[in-house]
Amino acid sequence: MKKHTPIKTIIFTLFLTMFFTGCALVSEDQTNQNNNKNKNLNTNVNEVVNENINVQEEIKENINQLTDTEIDSNNWQTYFNKKYKYEIKYPDNFFLKEVPSGSGQINFNYILLRDKNGEETDWLIEINTAKDREIPEDTSELSFDEFIEKKVKELCAADGVNGSRYCTDIISQEDFINSNNFIGQKFYLKEIYEDFTKEETEIAEKIKGPIFVYDISQETGNSARALFVELTEKGEEESINETILQELVNSFQFNKD
């Protein structure tokens, strides 16, 4: 006589079959979801990376290219700063002097340039390296823009027996990119001169600039923060010096080889 399978056994078997089939489907669905999440994550990461690259390229495209001058600088000399590893080119008929930042020091933070045929004190171009934690105050907590706006005014100031010179307002400030793909900023300021030689102090105003600034903090490992390049008061007397200044700024680059 043929035995019948108990109804409970059949139900239990069906339950197990449905359970494991369901688990398999859930597992497959979860795997597909995870794969889709990973694909979406990778897609998002790639989109962010590409977006950042595009933004950087757009920034460079929108920044004013430093205008090429008519000066032929092919035969210019190259100055290399050993401490900060940057180099600039300057005219072969110019004399360059490194000024120590303090007595007996060999770390040059101040550079002057003049025509070799000029007087010894007729400096035309000056280059200043600005750092944080300089006396009398620590400026490390300032943003880069705050830092250079502060420093550019400080570099403008000069006091003497016959008068006082200082800058009050920034008239214009714009980004530029040089021929070596380095981004900098160009400033023009309102300069005030107070003449003490008259019976009553006379005040004169003029526009000072351009003053070129490079952010060098990353390339120097934060040992310096900014490089300022500008004409001296003597250098401002002849327009050719501004052209030379611009060509010099255009040649700036780091060389760590």
Q: Which tokens belong to 246?
A: 């611009």
pLDDT at 192 over 90: yes
What's the gap between Cα 167 and its chain centre?
Answer: 23
Q: What is the pLDDT of residues 233-254, one digit of tens each?
A: 999 999 999 999 999 999 999 9
d(CA 22, CA 28): 10
| Secondary structure (DSSP) of 32-49 | HHHHHHHHHHHHHHHHHH
Q: What is the pLDDT of residues 75-92, one digit of tens each?
A: 999 999 999 999 999 999
Residues written for the chain: 257
3-state secondary structure 63-78: CEECCCCCCCCCCCEE
Q: What is the pLDDT of residues 20-44, one digit of tens each?
A: 555 555 555 565 665 665 555 555 5
d(CA 94, CA 73): 12
> What pLDDT does 230 receive?
96
pLDDT at 11 over 90: no
d(CA 198, CA 169): 26
The one-character DSSP state at 198 is: S
pLDDT at 141 over 70: yes
Which residue has tokens 């003049």?
114
77-254 architecture in CATH? 3-Layer(aba) Sandwich (3.40)
Which residue has tokens 């120097």?
220
Question: pTM value?
Answer: 0.72
Domain map (residue ranges) of the chain? 7-62, 77-254
